């Protein structure tokens, strides 16, 4: 149980710092190029770690397809393209609503799911207030309907990923093999858009630069391969909802990392927001 929570926490810790690597890579690569490269390398690594081929799962293959479409392709497409239309702070808050969407989706598709108590909803409200204080600290609230809609669609797509992931977990197949197949399907959905928008071009010479290579390795091997395996494993150990609630910690980790790594100041508003978010997390976990 403890290792499941630690695994989910590790994933959020890594995913909350990927924006630094992505920002560096955007100087030489397009968003789609970054995604295609990181998942190609990530899938290749999973084959090295676990070379055993998983059999075709018949009609159950649709669950893997659903995970790949919603959790890899659609989620990352919405996340990347939303940032070109609206403020990052808006997307940070909207994407953090994923646990709430997940709770709703699980109740719709799984009638046997545990009833959500008042602590979950109270925790959600407190976490959203806290995340808003963190994200909009020192910046004006800016609304862009299309960009914010993409953010909401991204949060909802993660909820649908969780719905399909529960079905995948119930099959009892190897977690690494599951993740490899899910990421492969997600990559399969990305390729047509990549060929259309980027004409299949990848600047291999630019990728050899030490700074670019290091950030690609971090995003591909740790954020895409290892973290997806760890997240899927944690969802088996502690449940889909318990892992999803850790998403609330994303903005908090970003604030702490910014303070220690790039020495951004901690204001009273960010401290208050961090405190409220943590209280919301603990309340949402309370039975």
Whole-model pTM: value is 0.84
pLDDT at 54: 92
Specify the DSSP class assigned to residue 199: T
Question: Could you list the mean pLDDT of each consecutive 10-residue stretch along the chain, which spans 287 residues?
Answer: 90 83 82 90 94 92 97 89 68 77 86 75 86 69 71 90 94 94 96 89 87 92 94 93 84 73 72 83 74
CA distance 124 to 193: 35
* Alpha helices, DSSP H, located in 87-174: 88-95, 98-109, 118-135, 145-170
- Copy the structure tokens of residue 83: 């940032």
Q: Looking up tokens 């088996």, which residue turns up?
A: 236
Query: What pLDDT was estimated at residue 123?
Result: 86
Q: How many CA atoms lie within 13 A of 131 on its CB side?
A: 26
pLDDT (0 to 100) of residue 113: 66
Give the C-alpha separation, 108 to 105, whole Å.
5
Q: Which pLDDT score, from 0 to 100, does residue 31 have? A: 84
């Amino acid at each position: 149980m403890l290792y499941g929570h630690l695994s989910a926490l590790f994933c959020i810790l890594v995913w909350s710092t990927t924006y630094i690597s992505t920002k560096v890579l955007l100087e030489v690569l397009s968003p789609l190029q970054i995604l295609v490269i990181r998942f190609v390398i990530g899938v290749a690594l999973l084959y090295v770690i676990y070379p055993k081929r998983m059999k075709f799962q018949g009609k159950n293959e649709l669950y893997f397809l659903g995970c790949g479409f919603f959790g890899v392709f659609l989620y990352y497409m919405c996340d990347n393209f939303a940032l070109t239309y609206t403020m990052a702070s808006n997307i940070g808050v909207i994407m953090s609503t994923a646990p709430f969407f997940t709770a709703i989706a699980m109740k719709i598709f799984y009638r046997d799911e545990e009833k959500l108590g008042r602590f979950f909803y109270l925790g959600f409200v407190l976490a959203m207030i806290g995340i808003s204080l963190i994200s909009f600290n020192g910046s004006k609230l800016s609304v862009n309907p299309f960009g914010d809609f993409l953010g909401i669609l991204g949060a909802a797509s993660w909820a649908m990923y969780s719905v399909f992931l529960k079905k995948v977990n119930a099959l009892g197949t190897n977690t690494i093999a599951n993740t490899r197949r899910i990421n492969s399907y997600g990559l399969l959905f990305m390729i047509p858009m990549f060929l259309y928008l980027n004409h299949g071009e990848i600047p291999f010479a630019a990728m050899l630069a030490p700074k670019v290579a290091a950030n690609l390795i971090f995003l591909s091997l740790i954020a895409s391969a290892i973290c997806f395996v760890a997240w899927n494993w944690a969802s088996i150990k502690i449940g889909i909802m318990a892992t999803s609630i850790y998403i609330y910690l994303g903005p908090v980790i970003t604030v702490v990392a910014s303070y220690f790594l790039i020495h951004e100041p901690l204001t009273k508003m960010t401290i208050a927001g961090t405190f409220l978010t943590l209280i919301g997390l603990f309340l949402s976990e309370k039975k």
